[in-house]
Amino acid sequence: MRLNLNPVNIANQDEDLDSSIHNFLTHRTLIIASNRGPVTLRQSESGELEYQRGSGGLVTALTGVLQHAEARWIACAQTEEDKAWGRGEVPLGES
């Protein structure tokens, strides 16, 4: 099976990069697959799951893009906390 990927030019001379990305991704869902997820989970002393944004390069690189797009991040469960959490929604703001 061959996968043919054609490059897409999203830049418009009349728009800045943020506007170009926003306009290109409007009404589209970006799907990201990686070994690690965009957040690190841990169990608090009270037993609740807490998260913080991951510090990896992929998360850092995509945070700006993800402010303009609906996205689904698919990743392997790395820890027991990841397995317990299963799936859910986490905002990836600048925090």
Buried b (16+ CB within 10 A) or exposed e, 59-76: beebeebbbbbebebeee
**Six-digit token string for 13:** 């001379």
Averaged pLDDT score across all residues of the chain: 77
What's the rounded Cα separation, in Å, for the pair 90 and 95? 12
Q: What is the pLDDT at residue 2?
A: 65
Q: Given this model, what pLDDT does residue 95 score?
A: 43
Show Cβ contacts of residue 90 under 8 Å, excluding neighbours closer than 6 positions: 38, 39, 51
Taking only the tens place, the pLDDT of each residue in 27-66 is: 888 899 998 888 888 888 998 888 888 888 888 888 877 8
Q: How is residue 64 written in tokens? A: 């700006």
